[in-house]
């Protein structure tokens, strides 16, 4: 009796240190990915399956429709239209790998919890493993966070919702997700912000061996390598603009991404023909201090406010990490902390919640619930009413 075909699968060829795609009929395709690049190999494998497989929704019965068909429909039709398509493309390989062979009707809360458990036990893909790297074995690598599993399940939920909207499913199917983590109340003090800025400008805080005094000294090796981070820090601290929006800011009006109007002193965080998204990108005025910096930066730039060697950036990961470590700040200090710091400082100074919300492009209720406890008037009326003389 012939052995049943295994079907398409991802296979690690140890002698070549490469992942390959093997399929029935002797098909074998190289991915060019080594052992520590499993995630990239998974993406290529999913792309191969997508070309090979044609979704079949039949009458739309969730008991007959496979989860992979729903994910492929979402990847082909909806994902290319999304602003953050990278989130979807990063989630699909893991969702496809776990839910392969399962029908939509199988998506019970227990199965969704099992996915979160399985995903949280996997090593983070950003860490390379082997001699010369930080971690020598995969067992030592930090695990994927539960909130990452939550974001990936949210992609699955969106895919199911899209399939139902397109009349591919008879009824909507709810995906049970892990609880959302409470917001981190981490922001920069004025001193921490100054240290981060000085470090980005190429200075290092050292102790003089002769006098014992500590002071900032210009580091020649770091000169110029992270100065663009200083621009990013100042724009984030003084406007509360999101990470991606800062990197897209240009000096001239554009149809995509925001721009700086130096004549009016206003930052327009949305392009001229861009539609509004769920993350409101309202215009924000520049403070006199930031306006002065902007007028000085503009002649030194090519097209974008934040550039490196005349080229725009899509990410700031490496340069930010260099400045953060030089400033002596922990891993929790991410670029998004600048937005939190802007809101926290504004509320601490007594700015009305409504005005802070307008500057951030969010709602007054969110500002009050997230930053309200920093307000000097927070619950002051309660304590004053108790201590008031009768």
174-228 pLDDT per residue, tens: 999 888 877 677 899 999 999 999 999 988 877 677 777 777 777 665 556 788 9
Q: Note the pLDDT of residue 4.
A: 43
Which residues is 123 bridged to in the sheet? Answer: 143
Backbone φ and ψ of 328, nearest 5°: 75, 30
Are the CB atoms for 176 and 109 separated by under 8 Å? yes
CA 327 to centroid of chain Cα atoms: 23
Where do the structural domains in the chain lie, given as residue ranges?
Answer: 53-165, 190-341
What pTM does this model have? 0.65
Q: Note the pLDDT of residue 305.
A: 95
Distance from C-alpha of 135 to C-alpha of 125, rounded to nearest angstrom: 12
Residues of the chain under the 50 pLDDT cut: 1-5
Q: Note the pLDDT of residue 270.
A: 84
279-335 pLDDT per residue, tens: 567 899 999 999 999 999 999 999 999 999 889 988 888 899 999 998 989 988 999
- pLDDT averaged over every residue in the chain: 84
**Tokens found for residue 105:** 């009707």
Nearest one of 186, 189, 264, 198 to 226, comparing CA atoms: 198
Distance from C-alpha of 158 to C-alpha of 150, rounded to nearest angstrom: 12
Q: Note the pLDDT of residue 341.
A: 95
Three-state DSSP at 246 gives helix
274-285 pLDDT per residue, tens: 655 555 678 999
């Amino acid at each position: 009796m012939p052995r049943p075909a295994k079907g398409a699968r991802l296979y690690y060829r140890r002698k070549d240190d490469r992942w390959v795609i093997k399929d029935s009929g002797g098909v074998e395709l190289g991915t060019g990915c080594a052992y520590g690049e499993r995630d990239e190999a998974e993406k290529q494998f999913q792309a191969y399956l997508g070309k090979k497989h044609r979704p079949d929704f039949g009458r739309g019965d969730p008991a007959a429709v496979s989860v992979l068909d729903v994910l492929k429909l979402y990847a082909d039709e909806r994902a290319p239209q999304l602003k953050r398509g990278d989130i979807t493309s990063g989630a699909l390989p893991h969702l496809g790998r776990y839910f392969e062979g399962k029908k939509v009707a199988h998506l019970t809360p227990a199965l969704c919890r099992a996915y979160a458990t399985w995903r949280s036990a996997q090593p983070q893909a950003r860490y390379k493993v082997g001699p010369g790297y930080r971690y020598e074995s995969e067992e030592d690598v930090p695990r994927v966070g539960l909130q990452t599993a939550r974001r990936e399940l949210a992609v699955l939920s969106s895919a199911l919702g899209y399939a139902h909207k397109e009349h591919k499913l008879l009824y909507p199917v709810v995906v049970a997700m892990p609880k959302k983590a409470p917001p981190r109340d981490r922001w920069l003090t004025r001193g921490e912000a100054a240290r981060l800025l000085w470090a980005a400008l190429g200075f290092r805080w050292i102790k003089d061996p002769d006098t014992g005094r500590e002071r900032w000294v210009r580091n020649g090796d770091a000169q110029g390598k992270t100065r663009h981070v200083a621009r990013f820090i100042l724009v984030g601290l003084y406007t509360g603009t999101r990470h991606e929006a800062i990197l897209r800011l240009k000096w001239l009006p554009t149809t995509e991404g925001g721009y700086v109007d130096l004549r009016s002193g206003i930052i327009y965080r949305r392009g001229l023909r861009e539609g509004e998204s769920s993350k409101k990108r309202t215009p924000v005025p520049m403070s006199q201090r930031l306006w002065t910096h902007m007028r000085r930066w503009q002649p030194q730039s090519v097209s974008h406010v934040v550039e490196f060697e005349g080229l725009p950036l899509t990410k700031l990961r490496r340069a930010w990490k260099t400045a953060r470590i030089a400033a002596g700040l922990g891993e929790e200090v991410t670029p998004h902390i600048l937005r939190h710091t802007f809101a926290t400082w504004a509320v601490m100074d007594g700015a009305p919640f409504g005005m802070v919300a307008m500057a951030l492009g969010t709602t007054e209720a969110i500002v009050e619930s997230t930053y309200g406890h920093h307000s000097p008037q927070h619950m002051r009326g309660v304590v004053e009413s108790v201590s008031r003389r009768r």
